Structure 1
């Protein structure tokens, strides 16, 4: 009689924050790992165990967490099947630790003489093709699209998946398809994690151990979907902010620019904000009014409807 396969459980935390205009995640081991750990002995709550691992590994006491997804990884060192249950929590801005950024389509460079144990890394260091705020991005992403086209070849199913997922040939670029784009690049052998399955690779973006970048893609997809109909962006801002700060936060999370006048009109018409008596004098021009999230911001809202057109991607 065959022995039953052993299964390990791991709890993984995606701690999201906005720093220097970038959507970032708290990582361990120079960006290679996420805070994680097994269900603690004697602990009946998955979330309580997760919070304790996060506290031990990062010093952060996470508040509200939501479950992202459950992943099954069959490629553990011991040959056991590992189930990863991922959670996400949004944190207000912090000044602890440097933000590691990278240029488009090239991984970040970490110091070899001892970087902080906990490092804030931009989501776009892992997924550089997702940041379309810069108009020059279309030209920068061209080599990746050519490699994707070469992989698709004459296969009509592959071609159609590439076109619709990456918004090519007149199709719309959908912000929230982060996970679909990552999985397509993984299948095409264009991310370093693909090489673990004996696939060719060109190593686009910073890789992570295990399937943690898969977890991050799920988190960014979730965030981009939620900013369309929930006030989650306010969880990532300071208590008071200007309209420009709010717009820049939305642009950073969506990875695309928004029309300034249309965005402000959209926000103010929904009565989502409370105007304060305070002013922001940090800018070069006239001081800007500071706002806070109002009571109506607890209800459903629509903030992602003022997007500016994106340059067309050509392959």
Structure 2
């Protein structure tokens, strides 16, 4: 049997809208959700970056701004948008996907295609701690304890217990917001994710399902973005040209999944020199007019490894 190889490009496109971190999704006819994706064609695409921009624009009517490559995904049996055609009797199709992270401050696009913005918390409800511990965590922890008890031997029990205690700690202070992918893969292994090959029969809420391994790609993108906030000022790729300090804080909270200490955050922001006042004010805040700021890109040129401090409330 011959094996044909397809290289597919998938994009995690993120924006901030109404103080929520939103992800651009395709709504498929069978009610499944997918990331914008398409095959790489060497004769038509000069680079992977240009190809992924072309697919996002073609499938959603939207042009992304900042783009960077995430990871490659090539597990046997994975399915992509470009591999939905039936295989021949003597042919097996193998799909390799290159995941990309794209950031934009422009969420107000018009598209005749079936594309929409969805909050990342719809796919990972356990990742949003802004209002305290997520309600879904109690059921997930109980199901994970049962999975631990069902381990076939003592070493497996100890391994499962260690992963659970590390990734789903009871103390919020020990919750590592960057380990989105690790938590998703643990829940997948436990059969608590709908896309799992052997899904559990529990009624635990584990978020919206996506086509094939697209939710794993999305988890990889969110992990990368959360980690990058701390060593590179990528948050400004999600901000409009002018913004208030509170809007910047709310955007960081939306991405990180945690509330921030207002005074400590503003002191740390001032030390970076990343924002400069514009001498303009916004008077639609419901209170005292708020000063508008702009991102000082010149400062980043001289501090390329500096991100933003995220002091939790």
CA distance in structure 2 between the partners assigned to 1:245 and 1:132 by the alignment: 18
- SS of equivalent residue, structure 2 residue 62: coil
Q: CA deviation at 1:61?
A: 2.2
Moved more, 207-216 or 289-298: 289-298
| Correspondence 1:218-297 to 2 at 5 A | 218-294=220-296, 295-297=298-300
Normalised to the residue count of structure 1, the TM-score between the two structures is 0.85
Runs of 4+ in 1 over 4 A off after TM superposition: none
Superposed, 1:53-72 pairs within 5 Å as 53-72=55-74
The answer (yes or no) to whether the contact 1:97–1:118 under 8 Å persists in 2 is no
Partner of 2:198: 198
> Does the C-alpha gap of structure 1 residues 120 and 277 become closer, same or farther in structure 2, counting only changes over 3 Å?
same
1:241-295 residue CA offsets vs partner (Å, 9 max, x unmatched) = 1110011011111000110100001101221111111101111110011001112
Aligned length: 287
Question: Helix, strand or coil for the counterpart of 1:296?
Answer: helix
CA RMSD between the two structures: 2.2
Offset of residue 128 of structure 1: 0.4
Bigger drift between 247-256 and 24-33 goes to 24-33
Question: Quick check: 1:240–1:292 contact (8 Å CA) kept in 2?
Answer: yes
Q: Which moved more, 1:264-273 or 1:218-227?
A: 264-273
Taking a change above 3 Å as real, the CA distance of residues 172 and 54 of structure 1, as seen in their structure-2 partners, is same
Secondary structure of the equivalent of 1:193? Answer: coil
Which residue is 1:89 aligned to? 102
Can you list the C-alpha shifts for 1:17-55, whole angstroms capped at 9, x where unaligned? 111111111111166111111112513422222222111
TM-score scaled by length of structure 2: 0.86
Does the C-alpha gap of structure 1 residues 257 and 281 become closer, same or farther in structure 2, counting only changes over 3 Å?
A: same
Deviation at 1:297, TM superposition (A): 3.7
- Using the alignment, how far apart are the partners of 2:141 and 2:309 within structure 1? 26
Q: Does 1:143 pair with 2:139?
A: yes
Tell me if structure 2 keeps the 8 A contact 1:70–1:86: yes
Checking the alignment, whether the CA contact within 8 Å between 1:73 and 1:84 is kept in structure 2 is no
Cα distance in structure 2, aligned partners of 1:204 and 1:173:
18
Q: Tell me, which stretches of 5 or more residues in structure 1 are unaligned?
A: 99-114, 309-315
Shift of 1:229: 1.2
1:47 to 43, 46, 49: 49
Give the distance between the partners of 1:269 and 1:176, measured in 2 at CA.
24
- 1:97 offset after TM fit, Å? 6.7
